[in-house]
Amino acid sequence: MGRGRWLGIALALLARQATAQARVDERWPLDSGGSVRIVSPSGSIRVLGWDADSLAVSARLEQRGGGRFSAAGDAHVRKLVVDPAVGSAELEVHVPRGATVWLKSVSARIEVEGVDGTLDLSTQGGSIRVLGTPQDVTAETMDGSVELAGGTARARVKTVSGDILLRGASQDLGASTLSGHIVVRAAGWQRGGTGVQRGKFASVTGDISFDGELGRVGSVELESQSGTVVVRVPATTVADFDVLTIGGAITNHLGDAQPKPGTAGTGQELRFSSGAVGSGAQVTARTFKGAILLERK
């Protein structure tokens, strides 16, 4: 074997060593309602709530070119940063259940479980998954999917092409996407009511599906330019329905009321109540070209 080939093998081995993983295990005091800010460009980030007034980090870092992990702050606020030069990083962060968590990434997968405080989560290409009953959630990603499972007092979710799955109950729930699909499975009890008490869901080309319970006097709005909108609720639901499509069709399996031609001469519209008018929830559905389907659950 020639000297040049031996040199190539040696350089490859050195490169592999240069990207060896480093381990981080740190712990600091943190107030039960403290704030944690996390910045990590890629890899995975898992945040877990626990019954301790402390913050703990366990991480594996793929060290490239001298990048490092840093932490600064006190028992009220602490910031954790993974240098972009590190490459991929796998973080597991334990925080007090009532903590506020702010998290930003480029492509990392984000998972949060058991945190009851406020969550502000952002990643460009990674997915976001939240399990539990946080007080307030903001979740944004461009290409990744978002799943909220459990229940929230308030949640706002936004994607460009990623799908959105919302499971559980919420006082105030909102989601929007350009081309992703939105699926809402509303069930359970959350801070004073069942299902979704107030919801607003919008897409441009993606389909929207609402399946489940409405708050007794709640309101839900669904709007899409060209996606299909499906509303599936229990037969016992009492609500006023206001449905309109400019160029699509409306199908109603919730009662005898049938759509009529739109007032502008195109599309269809349908207004009816499944109980005494004004005594229940309000459901509003709008599309430009997409179909609208109302079904019993």
Q: What is the mean pLDDT of the segment spanning 21-33? A: 93
- Whether 199 shows a pLDDT value over 90: the answer reads yes
How is the chain split into domains, by residue range? Answer: 145-297
- Whether 14 shows a pLDDT value over 60: the answer reads no
pLDDT at 126: 96
Label residue 7 by pLDDT band (50, 70, 90).
Answer: low
pLDDT at 174: 98
Residues written for the chain: 297
pLDDT digits (tens, 9 = 90+) for 33-81: 999 999 999 999 999 999 999 999 999 998 665 568 999 999 999 999 9
List, in order, residues 6 or more apart from 93 with CB less than 8 Å away.
36, 38, 45, 46, 47, 48, 55, 56, 57, 58, 80
pLDDT digits (tens, 9 = 90+) for 90-105: 999 999 999 999 999 9
Strand stretches in 225-288, DSSP E:
229-233, 239-245, 250-252, 260-261, 268-273, 281-287
Helix (H) or strand (E) holding 124: none
* Higher pLDDT among residues 163 and 84, named by residue: 163
pLDDT at 192: 56
Tokens of 85: 């030069």
For tokens 């499971």, name the residue.
167
Tokens of 86: 């590190």
Q: What is the mean pLDDT of the segment spanning 246-262? A: 93
Q: What is the mean pLDDT of the segment spanning 213-241? A: 94
Q: What is the mean pLDDT of the segment spanning 178-200? A: 84
- Whether 10 shows a pLDDT value over 50: the answer reads no
pLDDT at 3: 54
pLDDT digits (tens, 9 = 90+) for 138-150: 999 999 999 999 8
pLDDT digits (tens, 9 = 90+) for 119-141: 999 999 999 999 999 999 999 99
Label residue 21 by pLDDT band (50, 70, 90).
Answer: low
- Cα separations in angstroms, 18 against 2, 9, 65, 90: 25, 14, 8, 18
CA 95-100-106 angle, to 5 degrees, is 90
pLDDT at 50: 98
